[in-house]
Chains A and B, each alone.
Chain A
Amino acid sequence: MTETHSELFRLSAAALAEKLAAREVTAVEVTQAHLDRIAAVDGQVHAFLHVNSEEALAVAAEVDAIRAAGGAAAEELHVLAGVPIAVKDLIVTIGQPTTAGSKILEGWHSPYDATVVERLRAAKMPILGKTNLDEFAMGSSTEHSAFGPTRNPWDLDRIPGGSGGGSAAAVAAFEAPLALGTDTGGSIRQPGAVTGTVGVKPTYGGVSRYGAIAMASSLDQIGPVSRTVLDSALLHQVIGGHDPRDSTSLPDPLEDLVAAARTGNVEGMKIGIIKELHGEGYQAGVENRFNEALELLKGAGAEIVEVSCPNFKYALGAYYLIMPSEASSNLAKFDGVRFGLRALPKEAPLTIERVMAATRAAGFGDEVKRRIILGTYALSAGYYDAYYGSAQKVRTLIQRDFDAAFAQADVLISPTAPTTAFKLGEKLNDPLAMYLNDVATIPANMAGVPGLSLPGGLADEDGLPVGVQLLAPARQDARLYRVGAVLESLLEAQWGGPLLEKAPSLTDADADSSTAATALSHGGSH
Chain B
Amino acid sequence: MTDATLSFDEAMEKYDPVLGFEVHVELNTKTKMFSSAPNVFGDEPNTNVNEVDLGMPGVLPVVNKTAIESSIKIGLALNCKIAETCRFARKNYFYPDTPKNFQTSQYDEPIAYDGYLDIELADGTVFRVEIERAHMEEDAGKLTHMGGAAGRIQGADYSLVDYNRSGVPLVEIVTKPIEGAGSRAPELAKAYVAAVREIVKNLGVSDAKMERGNVRCDANVSLRPHGRERFGIRSETKNVNSLRAVEHAVRYEIQRHAAVLESGAPVIQETRHWHEDTRSTTSGRPKSDADDYRYFPEPDLVPVVASREWVEELRATLPEPPAARRKRLQADWGYSDLEFRDVVNAGVLDEIEETIAAGATATVARKWWMGEIVGRAKNADVDPGQLGVAPATIVELNAMVPAEIVEKRGLAVVSDDGPLLEAIDQVLAAQPGVADKIRAGKLQAIGAIVGGVMKATRGQADAGRVKELILERLGVEG
Contact = CB atoms under 8 A, between A and B. Distances in A.
Nearest to A205: B302
B177 interface: no
A352 B153 contact: yes
Contacts of B294: 328-329, 376, 379-381, 384
A213 B58 contact: yes
B58 A332 contact: no
A185 to B, nearest CB: 15
B38 interface: no
B62 interface: yes
Contacts, number: 104
Interface in B138-164: 153, 159, 161
A214 B94 CA distance: 18
Given A247-B300, A332-B102, A352-B159, A114 B292 contact: no
A111 B57 CA distance: 10
A92 B58 contact: yes
Contacts of A210: 58-60
Nearest to A104: B57
Interface stretch (A191-199, A334-342, A450-458): A334-342
6 contacts: A92-B57, A110-B56, A216-B299, A217-B300, A248-B301, A332-B100
B55 A111 contact: no
Nearest to A217: B299
B88 to A, nearest CB: 10
Given A333-B100, A335-B101, A352-B153, A326 B299 contact: yes
A248 B302 CA distance: 6
B324 interface: no
Contacts of A112: 51, 56, 58
B55 A333 contact: yes
A218 B299 CA distance: 5
Nearest to A108: B57
B92 A333 contact: no
A245 B52 CA distance: 10
Contact of B61 (A247, A339, A380): A247
Contacts of B299: 216-218, 248, 326
The 10 closest A-B pairs by CB, nearest first: A332-B101, A379-B294, A217-B299, A218-B299, A211-B58, A213-B57, A92-B58, A333-B55, A381-B292, A213-B58
Interface string B294-331: 11100111100000000000000000000000000000
A496 B58 CA distance: 43
A105 B300 contact: no
B54 interface: yes
Interface string A316-355: 0000000001101100111101110000000000001100
A364 to B, nearest CB: 14
Interface in B86-119: 90, 92, 94, 96, 99-102
A246 B59 CA distance: 9
A329 B94 CA distance: 10
Interface in A376-400: 376, 379-381, 384, 388
Interface in A137-180: none
Query: A212, A328, A333, A388: which has the most chain B beta carbons within 10 Å?
Result: A333
A192 B290 CA distance: 46
Nearest to A331: B101
B92 A332 contact: yes
Contact of A244 (B58, B62, B92): B62
Interface in B358-409: none
Interface residues of A, number: 44
Contacts of A98: 57-58
A213 B59 CA distance: 8
A110 B94 contact: no
A211 B296 CA distance: 22
Give the residue among B58, B61, B90, B159 with the most A Cβ atoms within 10 A.
B58
B194 interface: no
A245 B296 contact: no
Nearest to B159: A352
A385 B60 CA distance: 26
A258 interface: no
A333 B51 contact: no
B411 interface: no
Contacts of B51: 110-112
A218 B153 CA distance: 36
A247 B302 contact: yes
A344 to B, nearest CB: 14
A200 to B, nearest CB: 21
Interface string A77-118: 000000000000001100000101000010010111010000
B60 A247 contact: yes
Contacts of B63: 247
A209 interface: yes
Given A325-B296, A384-B296, A388-B296, A333 B57 contact: yes
A352 B56 contact: no
Most buried by B among A209, A218, A334, A379: A379
Given A218-B299, A248-B302, A332-B100, A379 B60 contact: no
Contact of A356 (B60, B94, B99): B94
Given A248-B302, A333-B101, 11 more contacts: A98-B57, A210-B58, A210-B60, A217-B299, A246-B60, A247-B60, A248-B60, A248-B299, A352-B153, A353-B94, A379-B294
A312 B162 CA distance: 48
B102 A329 contact: yes
Interface in B274-294: 290, 292, 294
Nearest to B50: A112
A352 B96 contact: yes
Contact of B56 (A248, A339, A384): A339
Nearest to A332: B101
Interface in A239-263: 244-248
Contacts of A353: 94
A218 B90 CA distance: 14
Contacts of B292: 380-381
A246 B58 CA distance: 11
A247 B62 CA distance: 6
A351 to B, nearest CB: 8
A34 B292 CA distance: 52
A334 B161 CA distance: 17
Contacts of A248: 60, 299-302
A92 B92 CA distance: 24
Nearest to B101: A332
B58 A247 contact: no
A217 B57 CA distance: 13
B238 to A, nearest CB: 19
